[in-house]
Structure 1
Amino acid sequence: MVVFKCVTHSSSDLCKTAVSYKNKYKLIGNPRHNNLSIKIDNLTWSDSNRYFCRVEFSGDLHDKYESRTGIRLHLIAAPRIVNITIGSNQDRTFRAQCTAEGEPLPSLTWTGPLFSNATSVTSLNHQITKELHYLTHDGKYTCTAVNSHGRAEGAVYFYKFKAASSSLILILMFVALGVKVLVLLVILGIAVFWRAGMCRYLFAFIPFSAFNQTVN
């Protein structure tokens, strides 16, 4: 329950309140002109409810009025795409899922590359979800939400990884193995060449006298 206290000192004064409950409910108008209203800002779906108004006058003539039946607040809204994703199933297949909200509840339509008609729809309160099963074709998938107050669209792109064939995998394995063998042979050749060069270098720089003494 929200309670406001309105004070007016003359017939020309508007209703002045120092309170704005949660920055959402405001009392506006002039009770001396039989005009007093509650204004609700920042509406959400949870505000759809039945509201009752009770007015009490203080002073010499104490009186009160109350609406016994109340008034029903019904929100309407154009569609809005809340979420659109692509996911995988346990059997390694792929699915697209689109969730939208609006009032009246919007209808959802998937468009895009060729696909099966396997879809499922679930709804809760002001939200509706449509799932597209077993995606098989690459491309852009568009979800369209429509109701009597407008339309909204969202899109996702699906590209499935295509595994290479077994023969291509074997060829790539042999190529990689051949490259490794070639690199190993090059390294061995460099090592042999380097050792042979060092031996010739040492032999060339041994003094002849030292070599002669060794022979004698």
Structure 2
Amino acid sequence: MEPTKAGVSLVWAVLLSTHVVRSQPGIELTLPRSVNAVVGKGVVLPAAYSTNRRINLIEWSVIDRTNTKERRPVFLFNPNTGVFNSGWNYGRRVHLEEQASLRMDHTRREDAGTYVLKLTTDDLQTTEAQVELVVMVPPTVRVGPSNPHVVTKGKSVTLTCSVRNGFPNITSLTWQKNGVPIERLTPDDLKYKAGSLKSPNLVIRSVDRTDAGKYTCAVSHPATDKDIKSGMSLNVLYPAAIIRISEAHTVPAKESVTLQCIAEGNPLPNMTWTRDGVVMPSKLQSVSGDLRSCTMVLHNARMNETGSYTCKAWNSIDKPDAKPVFLTVGPPAKGLDMSTVAIVIGVTVGFLWVSLCFILLVCYIRRRRHRAEKTKFAFYYNLGKREPNKADEKSEEGPKVPAKPRLSAPMNTGIGTMRKSKKGQERRYAKVLYPYLPIEENELCLQIDDVIEVLEGEDGGWCLGYLRGRIGLFPSNYVSFLKANEGKPVAPPRSGIELDDTGKRSI
């Protein structure tokens, strides 16, 4: 920790002023010439002696200021008996430290003076020495003329700084604005005058709004290592001024229009909007600090409201400030206005979004149903497509398909015509043993246990038959021909695979 200025001064004062007194042979007494103290704090008057004699009395006294020949007792002490006594004006504030040093607590301003230390030996020989006690008093600093101090823009103002009741004198005096030394703000000294140790008062020339702030007078004194300060606020008044206003407007009728005006001033300005001298309804609002705004709104503007609108701002300083803005209200806009267009667009977008979500939901449901049906009839979907394994090689794989014959009967002949051509002959039927998927359009789709009416061919190869309302070819080695007494067909069981009118399968 660094020593304080007062502490360093005290140490150097003690070291430089120490002197040795030899009043009697064999007695050496050491005291400083002077000691500095700060009022209200403790101080030690250091003293030491060396002797081969016996000391019977240590006596501290102070020389009377009015009569230098008289001394007032401060503290008496008998080292042999331990008995001590303090002067009437000191009480318990004084006591001895180490050999003969005098400690004084709560130093007062009137404690300053010349103190004398006297030693008495057992043979009544005496030795004495003096030390000067300097009691330093920090000064009181006051600034003015008032706090806060109000001044109008353009004038000059003098800020006073008085330093009183200090001892010794101050060593420096400076002014600060918002914590920054004045000399750093205007090095050319055109704005400020004086404000120093020789001339404590600060003069501010041609005050403007930027000069407002907190001003502090700071002084340095030996009694303390910190500056002693006193501050005040300077409030600068200036007239109202409009700093921003809306530009000229051209709007269609039946629309809303907003006119805004911003002004500054101290005190805060009053503001209005007028048209041809008539005050218009408006809203006044504080923006920040010394700024205010005035807003006027015309709802459903009409064409007869075209004209010049004036914003006016004023306060108690100087003349008011006024600025005009011209508003033109034209014919109503053709077609839909912007609000209606926005509503239509919003509704359209919403409808499209809902429709898209609905379509996606339907597709999702249908897809799930299709997957479920496909899983349910997976056997029939994969029939004829998958590779047979060894376990079902005999039961599912049909015989080799024979080569197709050349048919004598046309394929597009109706079933009734073909039956008439075979009048008198018994109808022949065949039962399907193996499933068969048609490769060409003129082939029938066969399922196990289907019963086919045979129209032509029973001698092997391909036969012509009638099944489920369709005439087509089928391989004879995939069926078993029924006997005559089994001619009435048995309705085949319905499966998950059906044929449409063209012979194609559907699920």
Q: TM-score range by the shorter chain?
A: 0.5 to 0.7
Residue 22 and residue 116 in structure 1: after superposition, are their counterparts in 2 closer, same or farther (change >3 A)? closer
TM-score by length of 1: 0.52
The separation in 2 between residues aligned to 1:157 and 1:144, in whole angstroms, is 15
Q: Unaligned 5+ residue runs, structure 1? A: 5-18, 167-216
Q: SS at the partner of 1:159?
A: strand
Aligned mate of 1:37, from 199, 202, 208: 202
Task: Quote the offset at 1:67 in angstroms.
Answer: 3.8
Partner of 2:325: 156
Aligned mate of 2:256, from 93, 102, 114: 93
The separation in 1 between residues aligned to 2:228 and 2:192, in whole angstroms, is 16
Task: Quote the offset at 1:165 in angstroms.
Answer: 8.0
Q: SS at the partner of 2:246?
A: strand
The separation in 1 between residues aligned to 2:200 and 2:234, in whole angstroms, is 19
* Larger helix percent: 1
Residue 133 of structure 1 pairs with residue 297 of structure 2: yes
The separation in 1 between residues aligned to 2:271 and 2:243, in whole angstroms, is 12
Kindly provide the CA deviation profile for residues 34-71 of structure 1, in whole angstroms up to 9, marking residues without a partner as x. Answer: 344264888546x543322103489xxx9997443x11
1:65-84 alignment runs, 5 A limit: 66-68=228-230, 70-84=231-245
Task: Quote the offset at 1:92 in angstroms.
Answer: 3.5
Residue 2 and residue 24 in structure 1: after superposition, are their counterparts in 2 closer, same or farther (change >3 A)? farther
Aligned mate of 1:143, from 311, 323, 334: 311
How many residue pairs match? The answer is: 147
The separation in 2 between residues aligned to 1:30 and 1:164, in whole angstroms, is 68
Contact 1:24 1:41 (8 Å CA) reproduced: no
Task: Quote the offset at 1:106 in angstroms.
Answer: 1.0
Contact 1:88 1:95 (8 Å CA) reproduced: no
1:130 partner amino acid? C
Aligned mate of 2:215, from 46, 51, 57: 51
1:109 partner amino acid? T
2:265 partner amino acid? G
Contact 1:24 1:40 (8 Å CA) reproduced: no
Contact 1:84 1:98 (8 Å CA) reproduced: yes
Q: Unaligned 5+ residue runs, structure 2? A: 1-178, 336-507
Residue 36 and residue 3 in structure 1: after superposition, are their counterparts in 2 closer, same or farther (change >3 A)? same
Residue 121 of structure 1 pairs with residue 284 of structure 2: yes
C-alpha RMSD of matched pairs (Å): 4.2
Residue 74 and residue 24 in structure 1: after superposition, are their counterparts in 2 closer, same or farther (change >3 A)? farther
Task: Quote the offset at 1:22 in angstroms.
Answer: 6.2
Residue 21 and residue 92 in structure 1: after superposition, are their counterparts in 2 closer, same or farther (change >3 A)? same
Q: SS at the partner of 1:76?
A: strand
Residue 104 of structure 1 pairs with residue 267 of structure 2: yes
Residue 28 of structure 1 pairs with residue 196 of structure 2: no
Contact 2:217 2:229 (8 Å CA) reproduced: yes
Residue 51 and residue 114 in structure 1: after superposition, are their counterparts in 2 closer, same or farther (change >3 A)? closer
The separation in 2 between residues aligned to 1:2 and 1:142, in whole angstroms, is 43
Residue 92 and residue 52 in structure 1: after superposition, are their counterparts in 2 closer, same or farther (change >3 A)? same
Contact 2:273 2:282 (8 Å CA) reproduced: no
TM-score by length of 2: 0.24
Residue 162 and residue 72 in structure 1: after superposition, are their counterparts in 2 closer, same or farther (change >3 A)? same
Task: Quote the offset at 1:111 in angstroms.
Answer: 1.2
The separation in 2 between residues aligned to 1:41 and 1:108, in whole angstroms, is 28
2:325 partner amino acid? V
Contact 2:250 2:327 (8 Å CA) reproduced: no
The separation in 1 between residues aligned to 2:225 and 2:181, in whole angstroms, is 17
Kindly provide the CA deviation profile for residues 69-98 of structure 1, in whole angstroms up to 9, marking residues without a partner as x. Answer: x11111211010111105699x94112111
Q: SS at the partner of 1:74?
A: strand
